[in-house]
Amino acid sequence: MIDRNEVAIKRVEFDATHSWNGYCYQGKIALIVVIDYIINCIKGTEDISQYKIEFEYLEDFSIIKDTNYLQIHQVKSYGPESLSSYKDAVWLLLGKSVYEDYETVEKSYLHTADIISSASGIIDNPESLKTVLTSYSKPSSSKSTTQKSPLELFEYIEERDLLDKAFKKFSLYRYADGNVFCSLLEVENKVKEKIVEYYKFIDKEQDLRERGILTKYVECAFVNLLGTIDKHVNERHYNRQNDVEYFNKEINFSEIVKVLNEEYEKLPVEYYVFYLKDKVMGNFNRYYSQQKQFIQETYEIQADDQESIIECRRLESGLNKVLDLIKYTYTEFKDDEFLLFCHKINPHVRVDFTGDFISISELVNSNFLHYPWFQSLVDFHENIKSEDFLININNHHFLPSTIVHPFPDLTSLPSTFYKQQMNARIEATISDIAVNILENKEIYKELYKIDNIITGNINKPLKDYVHKTTSFKEYKNEDAHHHIMDIKNINLIDINECRIRGEKNHGKC
């Protein structure tokens, strides 16, 4: 039995800020819940400033009024799973909702990314979940001295006969489409739909639609809301690391409303940073998941193939190394550092941050992030020089990039004429890429630090194209001298060529 006095030492809260990704699934789920809650509060003419959302303390996130917990939310992003996979999470929710220190909790919610199954069928309501859950064995124990385990809270409920009371508070969260789950692919759209619903409620949606800027406003509000969460969580993480006695655990609803009510005619640089972070992280999450699925399938199908198992382990190591590096960029990089990082991996893309939203999106092209950039980092992760994303091999510095031309392999074309035609198009594209790199003022200094740029399918020295640059013409006319003329000979090298060199150099490119 748990002694009341233990609460001072052993609590039911937890603080896992270090593991929170402000752009991940649970952050977006929290936005759906909070915006919906805000709309209902305004309908009831309640003072929004009384309400706050708390992340990663009592639960994944919680709704608080003044100092009282009203709702607690547990978020799981599993694929299709049986209820047994959620058993511990449900008992934690149930126990916390009736725990003596949190009797103000009115509702506890479980959010899932897919359907919950059981031997008795699909579970889509609290009643069926209760029936199956109570037929299982007891939940897990824990050796933690600071957090109550599922088993401890199970016993707390059992000893006090609180099961029915706990289940009266419990629900599977039901979304606007009627489902009790929200997939990872759908969650972003559901947040944006909720933002549109808010604009309709405050009579702003029709005006924005007629002016043709509704989509822009929704996108901007979405990204800024994610940025608000990210900033909050990173500040908490910093304060915890530096032993700050008090660190803010909540975001007031008025801050969320301020972001929703913002005018987005002209966007601040901070917006673009949030936008780019969201896209980089979102794309890597998808790439990571796809590769993990491939690894799992390979383990199952080729369990006896030692060579495949070794390659899978190396791939896993690379994925985890790159994940850590990308996490570092959004938690540690200042805005100007993150923008430079985006310019570096896209040296051929020149962007105007004064409002050219379309060109900015080119810095996070999903196809080119996945290949060749993510692929290069994973393939050569053992040689990555941490934080600057350069690959250091035999004292030569390789910059992994998103550069790739979109044309097919010439050997697949049916005739000599088509091959010549396609070769001319490829050469023209490579020329444009090279000139854009050489004239990209954002990365002049960075070009001095590298010897090669890894691409998807291009093998050319940049010096072959210097004569086509504006800087070269100015240099020749002696009207201006530009330091680009002094940059060392940088080669564009495709990832496959890099792999071949690696094989010749015992695994090193």
| DSSP code, position 407 | P
Question: Whole-angstrom Cα distance, residue 376 to residue 508?
Answer: 13
Cα separation of 155 and 95, whole Å? 9
Quick check: bond before 347 cis, omega within 30? no
CA distance 327 to 21: 8
d(CA 306, CA 298): 11
Read off φ and ψ for residue 367, nearest 5 degrees: -60, -45
In 3D space, the residue among 364, 375, 321 whose CA is nearest the CA of residue 342 turns out to be 364
Question: CA 467 to CA 479: how far, in whole Å?
Answer: 16
Please write down the HEC assignment for all residues of 230-270.
HHHHHHHHHHHHCCCCCCCCEEEHHHHHHHHCCCCCCCCHH
Q: Mind listing the pLDDT tens digit for each residue in 99-132?
A: 999 999 999 999 999 999 999 899 999 999 999 9
E strand or H helix at 446: helix 444-447
* 245 vs 351: which has the higher pLDDT: 351
Looking at 362-415, list the stretches that DSSP marks H as alpha helix, in order from N- to C-terminal side.
Answer: 366-368, 375-379
CB atoms inside a 10 Å sphere around CB 417: 9
CA 166 from chain centre, in angstroms, equals: 34
In the chain, % of residues over pLDDT 70? 86
Cβ neighbours of residue 220 under 8 Å, at least 6 residues apart?
262, 264, 267, 271
- Give the pTM: 0.70
Give dist(CA 429, CA 421) in Å, integer. Answer: 13
Nearest to 196 by CA among 48, 26, 32, 46: 32
Q: pLDDT tens-digit profile of 451-505?
A: 999 999 999 999 888 887 765 555 444 444 444 545 668 999 999 988 887 666 6
Q: What is the pLDDT of residue 243?
A: 67
Tell whether the model's pLDDT for residue 332 goes beyond 90: no
